[in-house]
Structure 1
Amino acid sequence: MRAHIWRSAHRASLVTRPNNNVRFLATDSRNRLSKFWAPTGGISAQDGEQDDSHNLLLKGGFLRQAHSGVFHLLPLGLRVQNKLECLIDKHMSSIGASKVSLSHISTEELWKQTGRYSSNSELLRINDRRESGFLLAPTHEEEITALVASMVHSYKDLPLRLYQTGRKYRAEKRPRQGLLRAKEFMMKDLYTFDSSHDAALKTYAEVRQAYTNLFDELKLPYLVADADSGNMGGKLSHEYHFVSPKGEDNVWSCSSCSYVANEELVEKPVFETNLDEIDVPGEPLPPLVFTGISMDRETAIHIVIARPPDLRDSTISWDRISSFVNLHAVKRMYPDLDTGIEAATLQKLLPSTNQHKILCSPSFPELEKTTSGVLDAIKEAYTRSEHRQKASYDTEMDWRKRVKEADVSITRSGDACPRCETGKLDVQKAIEVGHTFHLGTRYSDPLSALVAVPHSTQKEAIHMGCHGIGVSRLIGSIASLLYDSAGLNWPRAVAPFEAIVVTSPQVAEEDSVGIYDQLKGIDAVLDDREGKNLGWKLRDADLIGYPVIVVLGKAWKEGKAEVQCRRLGVKKVVERGDIRQEVERLLKQL
């Protein structure tokens, strides 16, 4: 029976020539576009989609939109994604990480244990007939921690580094910019587990080096910014960005030193100013006072900043005032400030506060302000009707004792760098493509991921890290960085094919195949599609964005080919024997 099955399969792979009875095995493994589905062109820009690079991904046959924020990858797009995954595998292997594949489905119960369920509005929940409380995971900290907690019980089993590349889900309210902001996306997440804080920091440094090596291999400019950990937990994190006007993040960098930080963590020089010394002649503009509240709803926090010179309105809404305050800087001064509260809720809660804190910012230093002007503004905040009985101080000295000063105004281009004496800060729009987090015991504590440690009778929580790379977002961001009026451009490391051999219909089959074979070892493809002229094939090759194009056209009559690289601005006619050398020379630069 087994032999019969083998013979049947063997016969199915035999090919019979039309002119004789000779049978042979089909062994042509060449990449041919005649055998590859690349449905390019024939599609116009989507309604409401203003992103040119995303439209080129559609026209170039890389993907199609299935639903709002959901995309199907076509063969060309899948080749790009697979190459990105191989690149990631290479650099994860360099730090001893093992690859896993976790279920897309998580449970509400785990997220409730870590406190991330109720506050997360982007969770896609699943309602089954048993109301089991399942959800589609946007990330896997809870699941991987629970898995490790059930299997790892001793420090001898650590360090452990586990990663996966898989689909993630987010209830994105307004999907936009194609792959950059979608409901379903591919992501690589690495989770690291160590027995101590120091060991975890060492692992963190190794992961950052692996990320640096990975992004360097793409040969694209990028920024690494100090970042805020948000609800991920921990106090140490870095973001990896591609600078792009299409980005949604603001990244600040210094003109003189290596300081780079995202909008949440950008710092300002610390000023030590005595209110008694702030006395500039002239009539000051009355400062603005922004009032917030602590997370426990017990403390009102009043932030005094100078009024912008063009803001003369006597009545300014709470939301408008908040736009002049760097709430991230305030959070560093007062970590318990609730920055997510709405104005109406705040007004209901303020009368019940029993403590008051004041933060006086020397913002907009070019404006005139006096001691009395600042103090009057603070007093006004305290003596509003809803606060009157909670704050009754009689002397200016009482007020000064309760004033803490720091610059919490919004950062502006040209502000002094907090790290060096000469640099100025500037801001750039950027696309976040990677993020590293040192989590500490943020997840291992609530999920009881504990290990026995030496010299202690008590088990201790595992120290963790989480490190992500947006795979589908990388595809979209690379496309947006390198596209031009002719089409897409791809770095060699992730291009669907590194080179293409394009021939006119007049070139013999054996000649085009011979040039393709000359490129053995290079990931090339042969455009042997019938019914397409040379001009159409070249426009199609530009649209798709192959790094190098080998053209067998008019010059082929003399045994020469034209080698093109649009990204490097190269069009060069070379002898047949020099084609491979020229293609390799160009690819090394990409």
Structure 2
Amino acid sequence: MRAHIWRNAHRASLATRPNYNARFLTTDSRGRLSKFWAPTGGISPQDGEQDDSHALLLKGGFLRQAHSGVFHLLPLGLRVQNKLESLIDKHMSSIGASKVSLSHISTEELWKQTGRYSSNSELLRINDRRESGFLLAPTHEEEITALVANMVHSYKDLPLRLYQTGRKYRDEKRPRQGLLRAKEFMMKDLYTFDSSHETALKTYDEVRQAYTNLFNELKLPYLVADADSGNMGGKLSHEYHFVSPKGEDNVWSCSSCNYVANEELVEKPTPQTDLDAIAAPAEPSPPLVFTGISMDRKTAVRIVIARPSDMPTEAQPPWDTISSVVNLHAVKRVYPDLDTGIEPATLAKLLPATETQQTLYSPTTPTTNEAPASAEADISLTRPGDPCPRCPTGHLAVQKAIEVAHTFHLGTRYSAPLSALVAVPHATQKEAIHMGCHGIGVSRLLGAIASQLADSAGLNWPRAVAPFEVVVVTAPKVDDADAVCVYDALEGIDAVIDDRAGKSLGWKLRDADLIGYPVVVVLGKSWKSGQVEVQCRRLGVKKVVERGRLKGEVERFLGQL
């Protein structure tokens, strides 16, 4: 009875509006799935992906694959992406960053000036009629630095913080895992410009705090790891990860302290000599010797490491198995010019023509009667349970993780070769600007969030980025005006009515689980007495709520998501 009184009162309020009542009804701005393209279902899982979050994104109507590693976003997926962008905009604004939109097209010439052209095999190149040497930018350090170099000439114009959210491209050899490894992807890239090293480091800390605030707002667990800068340049960088079995990174963390590091930078504690253990050493097994080659093909690189205790003394693994015994990241820190990706057959042909030899030892390997050109470093693999390098009691554990963001302090890596110089006080000539680069993989983040919370029923979005925060689901016999009343009672909440014709209540509820709305409001049998059922799968809640308490209950659930 109360439901009818509420509904009739709502109709009466519409009827009293002067003359334009019909126009109001025909331009109803309420969110309705009948007016929203959400092609859910109908996609069969492939390649054993029955429970895979990417398969759920397809089945839930968020995206479709256009080509290998290339995807179209559908309306639901675009709503998630737009909310991610709005969240990013808020936190970039908090540090005074201005938003720009740079061209997707860059030039080989700029990349050659910074030395990244020859070393980057993932560049997607464009052949125009003039063979102009264009490429589709996988990142924009070169372009943004060239832009700033032409417009900023004094330290008084700094600091400057510019960012964009746009498409990036890479010639990915093996696109896989949907949005996590694609040829075309959305990325937020922030570039910071400071007049000195000290101010650049302060900016770096401010950006890291903004990233922390952003990821905290998602209310999902994440790791921040010390990371290697790679060919980006600079010596200071951090990665942001979601722990996931789908991840391609190995992130090591301590059981006792806050030490977290990517496998490229994970450290080993300084070994302590135990004098009591030196007596009567066992006969050492012959070491393993791998021979690689430098990038310029002129130097043979011998890598000598203690033989694992479970390996027969006569065994000598081939070069392409070196990563199972040797920490190649540690090797590259000592000898950066080592070609770690060369094929064994090619290596065998090139080694006889090398001119010099470099030898690298692990500290526990005997080094007598070896070539004088040698170096020593701990190049053994880090193992689960190894001691923490930062605290006396902790031990290391490793987890697979998805990298979703990365911050780099670049220094003058790009400003110097591209002549981004400014006049500074008490200097006789201009000095190179100090830069930082800070990225968030927007489309990758979309896929990673889906992976974090998906379950057997479907996706499960955090409130901050859900396509809609609430869906109002009605049984077939419930009047549309009743659904409108409930929708209007949720004013200020991003809600949508599932008013699609010909669908049963059970079908709509299964579809709501598949899409992953944070909260579902059901108008079923209880509606006759003015009550609705509120469901939150992530919190494990199903609760019958009086109409007057509906918004408060929904907001309470959303506040936990």
* Cα drift, residue 355 of structure 1: 5.5
In structure 1, list runs of 5 or more residues that go unmatched. 1-19, 363-372, 383-390, 392-398
Q: Which residue pairs with 2:58 in the alignment? A: 58
Amino acid across the alignment from 1:547: P
Contact 1:452–1:458 under 8 Å retained in 2: yes
1:561 to 532, 535, 551: 532
Contact 2:306–2:362 under 8 Å retained in 1: no
Query: Which residues in structure 2 correspond to 1:277-292 (within 5 Å)?
Result: 280-292=280-292
* Cα drift, residue 468 of structure 1: 0.3
- Higher deviation after alignment, 279-288 or 557-566: 279-288
Query: Which residues in structure 2 correspond to 1:321-400 (within 5 Å)?
Result: 321-343=322-344, 346=347, 348-349=350-351, 352-354=354-356, 356-362=358-364, 374-375=366-367, 379=369, 382=370, 391=371
Query: Which residues in structure 2 correspond to 1:31-42 (within 5 Å)?
Result: 31-42=31-42
Residues 51/461 of structure 1: CA separation in 2 closer, same or farther (3 Å cut): farther
For 1:72, what is the secondary structure of its paired residue? strand
* Cα drift, residue 297 of structure 1: 6.1
Residues 459/558 of structure 1: CA separation in 2 closer, same or farther (3 Å cut): same
Following the alignment from structure 2 to structure 1, what is the Cα–Cα distance between the partners of residues 476 and 190?
Answer: 50
TM-score of the superposition, structure 2-length normalised?
0.91
Following the alignment from structure 1 to structure 2, what is the Cα–Cα distance between the partners of residues 511 and 315?
Answer: 76
Q: Which residue pairs with 2:470 in the alignment? A: 499
Q: Which residue pairs with 1:186 in the alignment? A: 186
Residues 407/470 of structure 1: CA separation in 2 closer, same or farther (3 Å cut): same
Q: Which residue pairs with 1:112 in the alignment? A: 112
* Cα drift, residue 560 of structure 1: 1.1
1:223 equivalent to 2:234? Answer: no
Query: Which residues in structure 2 correspond to 1:150-549 (within 5 Å)?
Result: 150-271=150-271, 280-293=280-293, 300-312=300-312, 313-343=314-344, 346=347, 348-349=350-351, 352-354=354-356, 356-362=358-364, 374-375=366-367, 379=369, 382=370, 391=371, 405-549=376-520
Residues 22/157 of structure 1: CA separation in 2 closer, same or farther (3 Å cut): closer
Following the alignment from structure 1 to structure 2, what is the Cα–Cα distance between the partners of residues 22 and 38?
Answer: 29
Contact 2:358–2:374 under 8 Å retained in 1: no
* Cα drift, residue 574 of structure 1: 1.1
* Cα drift, residue 130 of structure 1: 1.0
The Cα offsets for residues 275-313 of structure 1, whole Å up to 9 and x where unpaired, read as 9x9664443321212334556666654433221122114
Following the alignment from structure 1 to structure 2, what is the Cα–Cα distance between the partners of residues 297 and 52?
Answer: 43
Residues 358/245 of structure 1: CA separation in 2 closer, same or farther (3 Å cut): closer
Determine which structure has more spread, i.e. the larger CA radius of gyration. 1
Following the alignment from structure 1 to structure 2, what is the Cα–Cα distance between the partners of residues 352 and 120?
Answer: 25
* Cα drift, residue 66 of structure 1: 0.7
Query: Which residues in structure 2 correspond to 1:5-84 (within 5 Å)?
Result: 24=23, 26-46=26-46, 52-84=52-84
For 1:131, what is the secondary structure of its paired residue? coil
| Identical aligned residues as a percent | 81
* Cα drift, residue 509 of structure 1: 2.0
For 1:493, what is the secondary structure of its paired residue? helix
The Cα offsets for residues 417-439 of structure 1, whole Å up to 9 and x where unpaired, read as 00000000000000000000001
Q: Which residue pairs with 1:367 in the alignment? A: none
Amino acid across the alignment from 2:233: G
Q: Which residue pairs with 1:7 in the alignment? A: none
Residues 315/406 of structure 1: CA separation in 2 closer, same or farther (3 Å cut): closer
For 2:439, what is the secondary structure of its paired residue? strand
Amino acid across the alignment from 1:360: S
* Cα drift, residue 84 of structure 1: 0.2
Contact 1:271–1:407 under 8 Å retained in 2: no
In structure 2, list runs of 5 or more residues that go unmatched. 1-18
Amino acid across the alignment from 1:256: S
Residues 505/49 of structure 1: CA separation in 2 closer, same or farther (3 Å cut): closer
For 1:163, what is the secondary structure of its paired residue? strand
* Cα drift, residue 272 of structure 1: 6.0
Number of equivalenced pairs: 540
For 1:120, what is the secondary structure of its paired residue? coil
Following the alignment from structure 2 to structure 1, what is the Cα–Cα distance between the partners of residues 185 and 217?
Answer: 23
Contact 2:459–2:514 under 8 Å retained in 1: yes
TM-score of the superposition, structure 1-length normalised?
0.87
* Cα drift, residue 359 of structure 1: 2.1
* Cα drift, residue 233 of structure 1: 0.5
For 1:225, what is the secondary structure of its paired residue? strand
The Cα offsets for residues 116-163 of structure 1, whole Å up to 9 and x where unpaired, read as 111111111111111111111111111101111111111111100000
For 2:446, what is the secondary structure of its paired residue? helix
Contact 1:293–1:346 under 8 Å retained in 2: yes
Following the alignment from structure 1 to structure 2, what is the Cα–Cα distance between the partners of residues 410 and 569?
Answer: 43
Residues 406/108 of structure 1: CA separation in 2 closer, same or farther (3 Å cut): closer
The Cα offsets for residues 537-568 of structure 1, whole Å up to 9 and x where unpaired, read as 11111110000000010111221111000001
Following the alignment from structure 1 to structure 2, what is the Cα–Cα distance between the partners of residues 441 and 354?
Answer: 33
The Cα offsets for residues 24-74 of structure 1, whole Å up to 9 and x where unpaired, read as 354421111111111111111245767711111011110111111111100
Following the alignment from structure 1 to structure 2, what is the Cα–Cα distance between the partners of residues 51 and 563?
Answer: 26
* Cα drift, residue 406 of structure 1: 3.8
Q: Which residue pairs with 1:6 in the alignment? A: none
For 1:583, what is the secondary structure of its paired residue? helix
Give the RMSD, CA atoms, in angstroms: 2.4
Amino acid across the alignment from 1:467: H
